[in-house]
Structure 1
Amino acid sequence: MGDQLTLPQDTPEWKGLRVTVAGLGVSGPPAARVLHGLGAEVTVVDGGEGPRQQAQAAELRGLGVTVRLGDGQSLPEGADLVVTSPGWPPTAPLLVTAAAAGIPVWGDVELAWRLRRPLAATGEPAPWLAVTGTNGKTTTVQMLASILAADGKRTAAVGNVGVSVLDAVLAEEPYDVLAVELSSYQLHWAPSLRPHSAVVLNIAADHLDWHGSMEAYAADKGRIYQGNQVACVYNTADPATEELVRAADVEEGARAVGFTLGPPAVSQFGVVDGLLVDRAFVTDRHKNARPSPAATPVGAAPRHTATELASVDDIRPPAPHNIADALAAAALARAYGVEPRAVRDGLRAFRPDAHRIALAAEVDGVAYVDDSKATNPHAAAASLAAYQPVVWIAGGLAKGADMDALVAGAAPRLRAAVLIGADRGLIREALARHAPQVPVIEPADGQTGAPAMDAVVRAAAGLARPGDTVLLAPACASMDMFSNYGERGDLFAAAARALAGSGSA
């Protein structure tokens, strides 16, 4: 980030406070630097002793921070507060010890929330529009930031994406409003968080090894609704998200606002005749549901009970899950008071990150699409729903996920499946149960990296016909064969482009 970091003045609450920062991951070093700058006595602990940890430790020690490597389990004596990396589970021995001793445990999001400073214009800190869900968080929060910027607001996508949330709240030039992506881990460790408005996009089994159960995972997601001031946005296609709204303790006047891919009911956002429309933040919202597109042009004052915001064609690519994400982003932006025209302009300006249903190449009438970011079955199902027929590349580390529902839902769309990775057997078995007619091949057994992906893409090309899509939507993590999902997607795209260069698929 280009903004210079400016710290609040030292206060008695921070000066001399003995704070343990648990973990030298992404959030640990910034938290340690901020706390040290506030006057706290900071000790950082991490179980690793590799080159990365040694380099980070040297930098922090140069500032006067105590760093203890090779022991991430013991709580330093006399600790008053623990600030944990979000990936540390509640069962980590250091955190268990802290909880038993009554020592508060915060994440970096909680720390940032408590360090917010009032804006000169309002006397209040910049509001947070918060986004969580099993899938679609990053796309939604980036769409939201683009919409807010199109409305003339100084904003950023922060939290689990983009700018560090600590950097954002301490920026020398303050932000008007923040679009905040929050993981279930971050929400677990943010007990004081009270967003202006928030959305849970969807709930599906993920990270159950960390949370311990589906119920605990959903409950941590639902924390995002606590104390909402204006809107709790939920997905009408996922009843679990509405249940989380019903269970939330919100400020008086906060409303439940749904989004749907069909025509919206009262207090919902939806799609009518290829248009994204708002039937929540309009006058006389309880009246007619169906707008006249000609009667309510983008940017004009609404004359009907649904306001046109944008066209489905303004979303790239216009896959169903991208449209749903756009509706969620629009709902949060409108809750904040954004004009309709800004929704359209922001969606038009938005460009998705790499490895999210990105067209890598077209060869002999076959499209090669990289959705390497689809690292769980719920994400892969959304990707598969956007294409037909599909030669599906799937597999990797399943993280304990069940593949039956994914395969059963996708079966009618599949031309063939090309399986990779340590847990490919789970998908193979699900295909045998639910799609026995679908050809299955496993061409990269024992290979990793570029050689494996080259073999996979060549095999997929041999199965595809003109008009088909070869879709990398693995439903699994990547680390058994690749450094990360980004490398997996990059190698897929490179292999697809190599097919184009060879003149044959």
Structure 2
Amino acid sequence: MTDGTLERTPERTPEWKGLPVAVAGLGVSGVPAARVLHGLGARVTVVDGGDGPRQRAQAGELRALGVEVLLGDGSSLPEGTRLVVTSPGWPPHSPLFLAAAGAGVPVWGDVELAWRLRRPHPATGDPAPWLAVTGTNGKTTTVQMLASILTAAGLRTAAVGNVGVSVLDAVLAEQPYDVLAVELSSYQLHWSSSLRPHSAVVLNIAADHLDWHGSMEAYAADKGRIYQGNSVACVYNTADPATEALVREADVEEGCRAIGFTLGPPALSQLGVVDGLLVDRAFVADRQRNAAELASVEDVRPAAPHNIANALAAAALARAYGVEPRAVRDGLRAFRPDAHRIAEVVESGGVTWIDDSKATNPHAAAASLAAYPSVVWIAGGLAKGADMDPLVAGAAKVLRGVVLMGADRALIREALARHAPEVPVIELQDGQTGAPAMDAAVRAAAGLARPGDTVLLAPACASMDMFTNYGERGDLFAAAARAVALAED
């Protein structure tokens, strides 16, 4: 197989047979990639720097299929490798990729592999189009809303990519999909070169994963890859000029349109909100004078401002695909958000307890804090190098009290001292993790809260310093909040 043939869409051709392929990383994308490539006839070697129980169990399953697995060494390029397929989390400066670049070996992500392996739909003769979603925050909610809308329109679809169904499983499914709602992370986009979605959206851009990308400019550029080759619509956030700038820089197909979404009344070629209604002035006849009513704000749950923005973005992609307004309304009504995303846990004594443990960076936490007028905020964890000053300065007016925890809590404490010095702060000390730590945080928050307040877990940080993941953090918060409410009854 020559290097030139790697630039074509391979499908299930004999060119794969015997091709030496290295898969970087065991895990949720590496294992499916290894299995698919082995099934295509490639000679697959999986490399992973880990050698723990999980890796050994996964390696045993793959070895039983005939896949070679090298544990404890994620830096060496197997001899003779002609293609590397990587899991999203491996950073570009990894020694394996430097070795591949030196040897002239291309590197694909799992999304790039899936795009090249798409099968024609028997009804159309073309592969299922991709409606793609990225952004610093809101990706999963938006792509799930989009899938719900497409389902309401009678289409066979799935939320895939960085959520839900594996994108490789989706493109190779025996029963083909009509259209796919695809969530793409900046990691996945970095390793995607030939991806050409039908339509795509960048929801927002804020500093995140800069240790992986190396700079804000590189991070934004990788997000912007989602617009390359769009054929119908590049959807952007009018409140975030960086997203519109990415649209302007994109190389798209002739006739592709820039479509904005806004929380205010929409201008021409935009979706927005008028008198409590989500409306479309982009995909209607005579959009100079007309707009289509899509749904009510009350159809969006929860109806927090950033979630309404998510709904507008999902609606824009669905409308770009030709979905009727009624399906937008029905899909939004049917949608239920995942756990730990502005989820109301309990209300007791006039205090509402909200779990937004998924707010793992300042941008997400800011959106959550903006949804409530009076907040006792539980925050802290691993800040990943983020700047907390803009978050605290923007939220200062709604803060009634703050409970801080985690390894990088000092960053938030210092920002509070600069921007909200009058707000009472309770700080958990080092050494507590898991349930005891969360119980202490919730008790402290309960002592600060008054009727009319919202106790909000929106940590602005990752969770792994004290909890297994953000899900465990949210579950423990919910359990502790319910216990406090029960004790008050």
Q: Does 1:356 align with 2:358?
A: no
Structure 1: distance between partners of 2:428 and 2:127: 55
Match for residue 332 of structure 1? 317
Q: Which runs of 5+ in 1 are unaligned?
A: 1-7, 289-304
Comparing 72-81 with 9-18, greater Cα deviation is found at 9-18
CA-CA distance at 1:443 after TM superposition: 3.3
CA-CA distance at 1:185 after TM superposition: 0.2
2:219 is matched with which residue: 202, 217, 230? Answer: 217
> What TM-score do you get using the length of structure 2 for normalisation?
0.97
2:192 aligned partner, one-letter code: A
Q: Does 1:131 align with 2:133?
A: yes
2:190 is matched with which residue: 178, 188, 195? Answer: 188
Structure 2: distance between partners of 1:351 and 1:77: 48
CA-CA distance at 1:12 after TM superposition: 2.1
- SS of the residue corresponding to residue 354 of structure 2 reads strand
Structure 1: distance between partners of 2:34 and 2:398: 50
Match for residue 429 of structure 1? 414
- SS of the residue corresponding to residue 234 of structure 1 reads strand
Structure 2: distance between partners of 1:500 and 1:381: 26
2:472 is matched with which residue: 476, 481, 487? Answer: 487
2:304 is matched with which residue: 319, 332, 335? Answer: 319
Contact 2:11 2:119 in 1 (8 A): no
The alignment-based identity, stated in percent, is 85
Contact 1:374 1:475 in 2 (8 A): yes
Contact 1:396 1:424 in 2 (8 A): yes
Give 1:243-254 correspondences, 5 Å limit.
Answer: 243-254=245-256
CA-CA distance at 1:444 after TM superposition: 4.8
1:34 is matched with which residue: 33, 36, 39? Answer: 36
- Deviation track 1:437-489 (CA, whole Å, cap 9, x = no partner) reads 10011135421100110110011001000010000000000000100000000
Structure 2: distance between partners of 1:485 and 1:195: 31
Structure 1: distance between partners of 2:434 and 2:372: 26
Give 1:99-138 correspondences, 5 Å limit.
Answer: 99-138=101-140
Q: Does 1:476 align with 2:476?
A: no
Structure 2: distance between partners of 1:410 and 1:488: 22
- Deviation track 1:197-222 (CA, whole Å, cap 9, x = no partner) reads 00000000000000000000000000
- SS of the residue corresponding to residue 435 of structure 2 reads helix
- Deviation track 1:146-197 (CA, whole Å, cap 9, x = no partner) reads 0000000000000000000000000110000000000000000111100000
Structure 2: distance between partners of 1:11 and 1:243: 40
444 and 367 in structure 1: CA distance in 2 versus 1, 3 angstrom threshold:
farther
CA-CA distance at 1:100 after TM superposition: 1.8
Contact 1:276 1:310 in 2 (8 A): yes
Match for residue 52 of structure 1? 54
Match for residue 438 of structure 1? 423
- SS of the residue corresponding to residue 15 of structure 2 reads coil
Structure 2: distance between partners of 1:367 and 1:335: 38
Q: Does 1:269 align with 2:271?
A: yes
CA-CA distance at 1:10 after TM superposition: 4.6
Contact 2:12 2:117 in 1 (8 A): no
Match for residue 72 of structure 1? 74
239 and 346 in structure 1: CA distance in 2 versus 1, 3 angstrom threshold:
same
1:71 aligned partner, one-letter code: D
Contact 1:204 1:378 in 2 (8 A): yes
- Deviation track 1:116-135 (CA, whole Å, cap 9, x = no partner) reads 00111111000000000000
Match for residue 81 of structure 1? 83
Structure 1: distance between partners of 2:37 and 2:261: 40
Match for residue 7 of structure 2? none
Contact 2:148 2:335 in 1 (8 A): yes
Contact 2:279 2:292 in 1 (8 A): yes
Comparing 445-454 with 350-359, greater Cα deviation is found at 445-454
Match for residue 366 of structure 1? 351
1:461 aligned partner, one-letter code: A
> What TM-score do you get using the length of structure 1 for normalisation?
0.94
Q: Does 1:402 align with 2:404?
A: no
Contact 1:443 1:456 in 2 (8 A): yes
Match for residue 158 of structure 1? 160
Match for residue 62 of structure 1? 64
Q: Which runs of 5+ in 2 are unaligned?
A: 1-9
Contact 2:11 2:118 in 1 (8 A): no
Structure 1: distance between partners of 2:165 and 2:429: 38
Structure 2: distance between partners of 1:282 and 1:11: 43
Structure 2: distance between partners of 1:388 and 1:9: 54
Contact 1:112 1:165 in 2 (8 A): yes
Match for residue 374 of structure 2? 389
Contact 1:279 1:307 in 2 (8 A): yes
Structure 1: distance between partners of 2:488 and 2:284: 55
Structure 2: distance between partners of 1:37 and 1:179: 25
Contact 2:11 2:117 in 1 (8 A): no
2:173 aligned partner, one-letter code: A
Contact 2:46 2:69 in 1 (8 A): yes
- Deviation track 1:325-360 (CA, whole Å, cap 9, x = no partner) reads 000000000000001000000000000000000001
- SS of the residue corresponding to residue 13 of structure 1 reads helix
Structure 1: distance between partners of 2:472 and 2:139: 21
Contact 1:444 1:456 in 2 (8 A): no
2:207 is matched with which residue: 205, 208, 211? Answer: 205
CA-CA distance at 1:9 after TM superposition: 7.9
- SS of the residue corresponding to residue 263 of structure 1 reads coil
Structure 2: distance between partners of 1:33 and 1:428: 48
- SS of the residue corresponding to residue 477 of structure 2 reads helix
- SS of the residue corresponding to residue 368 of structure 1 reads strand
Report how many residues are paired.
480
After superposing on structure 2, the runs of 4+ consecutive aligned residues of structure 1 that deviate more than 6 Å are none
Match for residue 238 of structure 2? 236
Match for residue 436 of structure 2? 451
Contact 1:443 1:459 in 2 (8 A): no
